[in-house]
Structure 1
Amino acid sequence: MMNFGLFMVLSSLVMFFCGVWSFTFYHKHLLNALLSLEFMMLGVFWMLILQMSNVGNEVYLGLFFLTLAVCEGALGLSLLVLVVRSHGNDYFKSFNLVEC
């Protein structure tokens, strides 16, 4: 029988590597890239919380990390809205740095 803590750590590693896999193979759209980055951050956050629960009751580092992840997500969504308004879609191949 597997230990519950080991199962939780393995599930967070699977979440992280699924995010890396989806970022690698589904990178045609900006929205897919942002969602996979958020999924990777969720896996890292879960692993951080699991490790901090083993050390003690230190939740401030986890809250700080979660705050940074939320700010990163909000910035990504605002860039997505800006790109869709200016280019009409979110394909990476439609971005041209020469026209900017």
Structure 2
Amino acid sequence: MNQLLYTTFSLTMLGTLINRTHFLTTLLCMEGMMVTLFVMMTITLSNTEMTSTTSMSIMLITLSACEASTGLALLVTTTNTHTNDYMKNFKLLKC
């Protein structure tokens, strides 16, 4: 089971590195990484039966939801200003 989760995390990270043409694709790959981390943490915490750290998985999924909403807000804003979501159109060092 752990090998499958490690493979899933590696594939989503590879997808983030390879498919950098669209902003939406990058956001989806990052969400896949967060969900995989959530599943790994939940399985690890349930196997070790550590009751003091059970809230960590809830905090992780909460931060993941915040990251997703911020990413979608940025996607809508950049789509409205640039009319597409191509990463090459963004000027990251623009003042």
Q: Do Structure 1 and Structure 2 share a fold, with TM-score over 0.5? A: yes
1:55 and 2:40 are equivalent in the alignment = no
Q: What is the CA-CA distance between 1:15 and the residue it aligns to?
A: 1.4
SS of residue paired to 1:37: helix
Scaled by the length of structure 2, the TM-score of the pair is 0.88
Partner of 1:41: 34
Gaps of 5+ in 2: none
Q: What is the CA-CA distance between 1:61 and the residue it aligns to?
A: 1.1
**In structure 2, how many angstroms separate the alpha carbons of the residues matched to 1:69 and 1:54?**
23
1:86 and 2:81 are equivalent in the alignment = yes
**In structure 1, how many angstroms separate the alpha carbons of the residues matched to 2:27 and 2:11?**
14
Q: What is the CA-CA distance between 1:95 and the residue it aligns to?
A: 1.4
Q: What is the CA-CA distance between 1:98 and the residue it aligns to?
A: 6.9
Scaled by the length of structure 1, the TM-score of the pair is 0.84
Query: 1:85–1:64: structure 2 CA closer, same or farther, 3 Å change rule?
Result: same
Q: What is the CA-CA distance between 1:19 and the residue it aligns to?
A: 0.6
Per-residue CA distance 1:29-84 (angstroms, 9 max, x = gap):
10011110111111111111111011216431111111001111111001000000
Equivalent AA in structure 1 for residue 31 of structure 2: E
1:64 and 2:64 are equivalent in the alignment = no
**In structure 2, how many angstroms separate the alpha carbons of the residues matched to 1:29 and 1:94?**
10
Partner of 1:28: 21
Q: RMSD across aligned C-alpha pairs, in angstroms?
A: 1.6
**In structure 2, how many angstroms separate the alpha carbons of the residues matched to 1:16 and 1:63?**
19
